């Protein structure tokens, strides 16, 4: 089976983490986020994946090459952003399968534990044009709302409606019949959510929903990115790409965690990163060469490459860009983001996005 992996977005919601690195390549539980998707796709029977790239396209091939995690990889780039449908159609030029074969479509910012083989089985049993993975959420107003009938057939696709008729939402993994991909206009900006799916439904084509409410997370925000990484480390979702078994923390080769430090809650400590004695790091992501000094507290935060937290400083829900420095005594919280290279001098002032 072949797949298309949509990785062309700029990841603006995750800045400053994505200034130098595309969102799907951000280190997540010790490896690039896409490594988890590639490994799970391979486990589901996918043998070949076409990357639909755009933003910093060259970095994907440099990261994975022609083959990774048991899957052959091909790279197709867009000269200009074409939307989800346009990106799928553009990448389809590199597919080798026949017109009736299933093609798995994966979004590069979704962490999901659903059964992809079961979704493909539903697709083939129904002879569907498209089969969508649907999951149930408490607040469907922020997502594409997708009602189905008693047989599981999709009856409508309501993108971000304020009055949802169901709590079933589009979970961002699709199985397309290859011939259905070929109906998408070439070299045009097309949204599958707003154009392709509603058009298929109105034409009478069979569009199925595979409802499965296991682990699912859109990692497109800083809070969700941290949560996804920690959940992988804690074993709340399995990944064949995880470097080691589940536990309270993941410490990569070359990192140093002093015996007197508290590091738990699914925290990842990157290569060359240091956590000194008396420091507390809970539920956070420390990238390579990050540094947390004695007496500092870091919670639910990301420290990018080479970022430093001084003695006694407190970070709660904060993103530090590459090489950012937080001096002693600072207290940062509530979604504050410090851009790469910025240095906050020693102070007793509390900074937050609420200030």
Residue 273 has pLDDT above 50, yes or no: yes
Average pLDDT, the chain: 92
- CATH 2.160.10.10 residue ranges of the chain are 248-352
Contacts of 78 (CB under 8 A, 6+ apart): 8, 52, 53, 54, 86, 87, 90
Whole-prediction pTM: 0.90
Structure tokens at 278: 């008396």
CATH number of 248-352: 2.160.10.10
Name which of 28-42, 146-160, 294-308, 327-341 the model is least confident about. Answer: 146-160
**Residue 349: pLDDT band by 50, 70, 90 thresholds?**
low
User: How confident is the model over 92-98, as a mean pLDDT?
Assistant: 94
CA distances to 151, 194, 235, 324 from 242, in Å:
37, 35, 10, 28
Q: Which CATH number fits domain 2-218: 3.40.50.300, 3.90.550.10, 3.20.20.70, 3.40.50.2300?
A: 3.90.550.10
CA dihedral 162, 166, 171, 173 (to 10 degrees): -120
More confidently predicted of 217 and 80:
217
Residue range 106-114: mean pLDDT, rounded: 91
By DSSP bridging, strand 130-136 and strand 314-316 are: unpaired
Interval 39-72: pLDDT, tens? 999 999 999 999 998 878 889 999 999 999 999 9
**What pLDDT digit, counting tens, does each position of 202-224 carry?**
999 999 999 998 899 989 899 99
Q: Long-range CB contacts (< 8 A, 24+ apart) of 286-290?
A: 286/255, 287/27, 288/27, 288/252
Tell me what the mean pLDDT of segment 290-296 comes to: 97
Q: Is the pLDDT of residue 329 over 70?
A: yes
Give tens-digit pLDDT for 145-177. 899 999 999 998 887 777 888 889 889 899 999
Q: Which pLDDT value is given to residue 158? A: 82
CB atoms within 10 A of CB 120: 19
Confidence of residue 80 (pLDDT cuts 50, 70, 90): confident
> Encoding tokens for residue 63?
């990261």
Do 168 and 136 form a contact (C-beta atoms < 8 A)?
yes
Residue 350 pLDDT exceeds 70: no
Going by C-alpha positions, the residue among 164, 158, 161, 200 that lies closest to residue 182 is 200
Residue 250 and residue 269 in contact, taking contact as beta carbons nearer than 8 Å: yes
Residue 354 pLDDT class (50, 70, 90 cuts): low
Distance in angstroms (rounded) separating the CA atoms of residues 67 and 104: 18
Report the C-alpha gap between 15 and 300 in whole angstroms.
Answer: 16
The CATH 3.90.550.10 domain(s) of the chain lie at 2-218
Compute the average pLDDT of residues 265-274: 97
When pLDDT is cut at 50, 70 and 90, the band that residue 296 belongs to is: very high
CA atoms within 13 A on the CB side of 125: 12
CA 208 distance to own-chain centroid? 24
């Amino acid at each position: 089976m072949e797949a298309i992996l949509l990785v062309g977005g700029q990841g603006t919601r995750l800045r400053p983490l994505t200034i130098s690195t595309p969102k799907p390549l951000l280190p997540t539980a010790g490896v690039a986020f896409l490594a988890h998707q590639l490994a799970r796709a391979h486990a589901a029977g996918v043998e070949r994946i076409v990357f639909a790239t755009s933003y910093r396209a060259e970095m994907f091939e440099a990261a994975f090459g022609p083959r990774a995690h048991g899957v052959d990889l091909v790279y197709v780039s867009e000269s200009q952003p074409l939307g989800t449908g346009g990106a799928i159609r553009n990448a389809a030029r590199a597919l080798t399968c026949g017109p009736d074969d299933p093609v798995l479509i994966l979004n590069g910012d979704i962490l999901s534990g659903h059964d992809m083989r079961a979704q493909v089985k539903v697709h083939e049993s129904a002879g569907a044009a498209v089969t969508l993975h649907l999951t149930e959420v408490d607040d469907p107003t922020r997502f594409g709302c997708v009602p189905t009938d008693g047989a599981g057939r999709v009856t409508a696709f309501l993108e971000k409606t304020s009055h949802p008729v169901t709590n079933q939402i589009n979970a961002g993994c699709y199985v397309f019949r290859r011939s259905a991909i070929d109906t998408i206009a070439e070299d045009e900006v097309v949204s599958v959510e707003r154009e392709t799916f509603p058009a298929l439904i109105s034409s009478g084509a069979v569009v199925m929903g595979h409802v499965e409410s296991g682990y699912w997370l859109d990692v497109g925000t800083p809070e969700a990115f941290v949560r996804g990484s920690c959940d992988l480390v804690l074993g709340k979702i399995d990944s064949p790409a995880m470097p080691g078994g589940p536990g309270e923390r993941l410490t990569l080769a070359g990192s140093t965690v002093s015996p007197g430090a508290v590091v738990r809650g699914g925290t990842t400590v990157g290569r060359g990163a240091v956590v000194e004695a008396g420091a507390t790091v809970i539920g956070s992501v420390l990238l390579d060469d990050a540094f947390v000094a004695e007496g500092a507290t870091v919670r639910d935060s990301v420290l990018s490459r080479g970022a430093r937290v001084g003695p006694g400083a407190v970070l709660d829900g904060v993103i530090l860009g590459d090489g950012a420095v937080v001096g002693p005594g600072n207290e940062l919280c509530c979604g504050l983001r410090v851009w790469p290279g910025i240095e906050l001098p020693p102070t007793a002032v509390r900074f937050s996005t609420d200030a």
